[in-house]
């Protein structure tokens, strides 16, 4: 079958892999495996099983995803042992990055009150962005059990993946721009060792 005819127009993944969620705030009973089949409103979140999603990307060698003028629906690529216990936020100092994190927290607000969060920010932030950075950190702290703030000059998504693995993070919140790099890294990292069954990825904007 030509899978191009069954691709979701927002994600470019096959519809058969996707679960859709429509709540503006996910309920405490949220499970990424149990989406809603039909709704008259746009989804607030798509979820895909991590291994199936990355395997499909690797098989079809997608180099990039189409850009749409419509709102980009966030993707949750969930590992077999999905958890929000330890969150890792990738903040790069841009307005889009701050918006991404705020929207994630608003969506997951009802299920992350007991989560432990880490925010990684660049060493250098322009003075004009310092207030936004502090407000973002405070926003995260208000909605989680515990939050720490670290400055690292991470330049690649590999750096965040490695940190997440070493510190037992369960969900990395980052930009959808890292999607292809993550899929390639997934196979490189797991080539000679068992895959991480606890690290999931939230991708948006």
Mean pLDDT, contiguous 10-residue spans, the chain (205 residues): 60 87 94 82 92 82 46 89 98 94 98 98 88 96 97 93 96 92 84 83 94
Q: Which residues contact 84 (CB under 8 A, 6 or more apart)?
A: 108, 111, 112, 115, 170, 171
Structure tokens of 88? Answer: 């890792």
Structure tokens of 142? Answer: 């208000």
pLDDT at 39: 67
pLDDT at 8: 81
Q: Of 54, 58, 36, whose CA–CA distance to 201 is shortest?
A: 54
Give the C-alpha separation, 48 to 12, whole Å: 12
3-class SS at 156?
Answer: coil
pLDDT at 38: 64
Give the C-alpha separation, 175 to 169, whole Å: 17
- In this prediction the pTM is 0.91
Domain boundaries, given as residue ranges, for the chain: 49-204
pLDDT at 187: 83
Structure tokens of 19? Answer: 């679960």
CATH-assigned architecture of domain 49-204: 3-Layer(aba) Sandwich (3.40)
């Amino acid at each position: 079958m030509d899978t191009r005819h069954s691709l979701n127009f927002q994600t470019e993944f096959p519809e058969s892999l996707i679960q859709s969620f429509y709540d503006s705030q996910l309920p405490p009973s949220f499970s990424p495996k149990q989406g809603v089949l039909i709704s008259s409103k746009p989804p607030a979140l798509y979820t895909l099983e991590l291994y199936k999603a990355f395997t499909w990307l690797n098989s079809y060698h997608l180099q990039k995803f189409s850009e749409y003028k419509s709102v980009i629906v966030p993707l949750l690529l969930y590992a077999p042992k999905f958890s929000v216990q330890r969150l890792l936020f990738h903040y790069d100092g841009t307005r889009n990055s701050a918006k991404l994190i705020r929207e994630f927290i608003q969506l997951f607000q009802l299920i992350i009150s007991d989560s432990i969060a880490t925010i990684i920010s660049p060493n250098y932030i322009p003075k004009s962005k310092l207030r936004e950075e502090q407000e973002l950190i405070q926003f995260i702290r208000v909605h989680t059990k515990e939050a720490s703030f670290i400055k690292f000059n991470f330049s690649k998504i590999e750096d965040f993946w490695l940190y997440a693995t070493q510190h037992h993070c369960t969900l990395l919140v980052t930009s959808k721009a890292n999607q292809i790099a993550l899929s390639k890294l997934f196979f490189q990292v797991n080539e000679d060792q068992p895959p991480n069954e606890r690290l999931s990825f939230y991708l948006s904007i």
